[in-house]
Every structure is written in structure tokens, then in C-alpha cells.
Amino acid sequence: MTHARAERAALGDLLAQLGPDAPTLCEGWTTFDLAAHLVLRERRPDAAGGIALRPLAGYTASVQETLKARYGYPRLVELIRSGPAGLYRVPGMDSTVNALEFFVHHEDVRRAQRVWEPRELPADLEALFWKRIRTGRRVFLRKSPVGVVLHRIGGGVALGGTRDAPVVEVTGTAGELLLFCFGRQSHALVDLAGPEEAVATLMDVRLGV
């Protein structure tokens, strides 16, 4: 089983266990909202643009609510488990894109609960995350008004953020750095070093795609 499929299956199990009203790290979203988001992303490409583009966000939100009303929570979870769907069936798309997507959203649900523990990820999954961080760091950190130096525990450095600005050094495993770069700064298990004001600024800015 690929890492993408393993994360999908684990997230599906957790969603089924928690039910539709559990919190997530996605601001304002319950597990019901997150399930609808994941189904929309794969099965409604006409509405997926609003995930990243603010002018289209209203339509995306409307379709997401329609999916909730049409399918209900148990069916949405089934659709997630039955994937990948749509474009993500193309060879390579699931393993290269969904491994990140489902890892991040799996942690969105896990870390929003009252009790949770960090996971030790397989070495090849950590390597995949670090590769994606290095290639995507300028996109992930483009909104940072401060410089960012990412230090991977086990080896590796990646630079991002704004040049000629105070620098914050962020140290953690590749999985934790990925969560940080995807806007989960407050919930990523990382160490930060740098000027106090710069650290506070980086923690508050909206990072990610």
C-alpha cells in the first residue's frame, strides 16, 4: 500500500470513529466539513478552484454545503475511502500529491482532539516530505514577511520567506516542518529561534499553498 492510500485509509477510519461534529485544525470546520472538502477536491474539479483562489471561494463553499446535504457524513467518508478519484487516478498523482494532502488533513483531525500523540513516520515518507518542502518552499513561505531557514532533523536546510528581513530558524522533522509550512504553525512540533518579533510574525502569518 502506498503512503497516500495508507493515510487515506487511516483518516477514513478516524473520521468514522469521531463522527461529523468533531473539531479539526481547519478554522471553523468540523469533521463533516473536512470530509466534504476532500470529496469536493477529488470529485468536483469545477468547484476546486476556490480552495486556493479567494474570488472563487464562495462557489466552492456552496458546493461543499451541497455535498454535505446530498450525501450525508457516512457516505462522504465512504467516498473518501474509495478514492483516489478524478484527476488523482492518473499514475503518480495519488502518490506525489495525496500523500501530503491526506497526511496534513489526518493530522488536522488527530491534533484537534483532546488527547493525541505524535507519530514516528517511515523514513521514505519523511524523505518524500522533505523533497516536497525543498521544491515548494518558496510557494509555501511566500507570504512570510520574515526570512525562514528550515532545518530538518537528520540533515537538510531549506531557505524561504522574505530576503533582507529578520530571520527565523525552524527545526523539526520533515513531517513537522511540512505541517508548519502548510499553515499549522501552532500545532507543529518544531523549535524556533530568532528575534522575538520576527518569531511572533511568522507564527501569525497564513502560510501554505
The pLDDT value given to residue 189: 98
Q: Lowest mean pLDDT: which of 85-99, 150-164, 184-198?
A: 85-99
Q: By C-alpha distance, which of 37, 41, 49, 34 is closest to 85? A: 41
59: Cβ contacts below 8 Å, ≥ 6 apart: 47, 50
Q: Give the separation between CA 144 and CA 7, rounded to whole angstroms.
A: 29
The pLDDT value given to residue 96: 81
Domains of the chain: 3-110 (no CATH), 123-204 (3.30.1050)
Vertex 38: Cα angle to 182 and 30 (nearest 5): 80
Tens digit of pLDDT for each residue in 91-127?
788 888 899 999 999 999 999 999 999 999 999 999 9
Arithmetic mean of pLDDT, 20-41: 97
Tens digit of pLDDT for each residue in 37-62?
999 999 998 887 878 778 878 999 99
Provide the CA 197 distance to its chain's centre, in angstroms: 26
Arithmetic mean of pLDDT, 72-101: 89
| pTM (predicted TM-score) | 0.93
